[in-house]
Structure 1
Amino acid sequence: MFSTVVRPRPASSEEALAHFQRLLTFETDCWDVHYALNNNLRDFVLLDVRGIDTAKKGYIEGAVFLPHANITEAALSSYPDDTIFVVYCAGPHCNATEKAAIKLARLGRPVKKMIGGVIGWLDEGFTLKADV
């Protein structure tokens, strides 16, 4: 008898490799974002896509505040079409990143999600800036 952990059986190694490699085209993590921001590797725009009241409690320094509800072509007009956006929200319990990523993708913009959001950022021991 097998546990529910291995039922259904894991994918083949080839399928797992393809899946996890593809997953990295959609996601990045707090550590990689922090490293890039602190080592002059700013080849992306970090977007805080939470609401203003939540963002006022603290945000990642270097992020641009743009709530997911306000993402429009006009709001992005100052960015070249090939700008890569990395979106974050409160954390795993929040789906603002998915809402933002959908809007960005519909506008033809490259986008990745920073997994973990603010909770992941703090879990890594990184700090937030307190004014918006």
Structure 2
Amino acid sequence: MEKQTYVSLVLETPAAAPEHIQRHYRNKLAMETDVADVRSDLEHGVKDFLLVDVRSEKAYEECHITGAVSLPAARINAESTAEFSKDRLIVVYCWGPACNGGTKGAARLAELGFQVKEMLGGIEYWRKEGGSVEGTLGKIAPLIG
């Protein structure tokens, strides 16, 4: 019986050239941000972006990031965004890593001509990292919709 040779699952596909890797990660950073960066900016008074909660109105009412505005992803259209400036970055968030509401919201806003980034981790990681929240239930609000 021949011994089978193990083939590395990591190495079976060669890595891209460094310039392609750099471009990939720069592009990723151009479309995403994280809880720590958003929180740091807000704590330092940065007001150059609009933070938008794309979850349901009920979820927003119960608990949302302090200072965020509510605009459920399904309601994003030209009329609902008429007062938003296209010169100001919009940062969207939803429930957490398993939620694609932020992705849907970002795609809809981009289709309307807005600059947008998705905040990875959503309100779940915002709360895990001790970020400030407000709403009728605040910190005791459920983390599911």
Q: TM-score, normalised by structure 2?
A: 0.82
2:119 aligned to 104, 114, 128, which one? 114
Q: Is the 8 A contact 1:101 1:112 kept in 2?
A: yes
Give the equivalent residue in structure 2 for 1:128.
133
Pairwise CA distance, 1:129: 1.6
Cα offset for 1:73?
1.2
Q: Structure 2: which amino acid aligns with 1:115?
A: L
The number of residues matched between the two structures is 132
Q: Please say if 1:61 is aligned against 2:66.
A: yes
The residue aligned with 1:29 is 34
Partner of 1:7: helix, strand, or coil?
Answer: coil
Q: What is the CA deviation profile of residues 69-121 of structure 1, one whole-angstrom value per residue up to 9, with x for unaligned ones?
A: 11111111112222211000001111101111111011111111001111221
Q: Distance in 1 between matches of 2:136 and 2:44?
A: 23
* Higher gyration radius (CA): 2
Q: Distance in 2 between matches of 1:6 and 1:88?
A: 35
Asked if residue 74 in structure 1 is aligned to residue 79 in structure 2, the reply is yes
* Superposition deviation, residue 54 in structure 1: 2.5
Q: Given the superposition, is the C-alpha separation of residues 22 and 131 from structure 1 closer, same or farther in structure 2, using an over 3 Å criterion?
A: same
TM-score calculated relative to the size of structure 1: 0.90
- Identity percentage of aligned residues: 37
Q: Which residues of structure 2 form unaligned runs of 5+?
A: 1-5, 138-145
Which residue of structure 1 lines up, in the alignment, with residue 142 of structure 2?
Answer: none
Distance 1:45 1:52 in 2: 17
Aligned CA-pair RMSD: 1.7
| Structure 1 residues not aligned, in runs of 5+ | none
Distance 1:2 1:124 in 2: 39
Counterpart of 2:121, as a letter, is: G
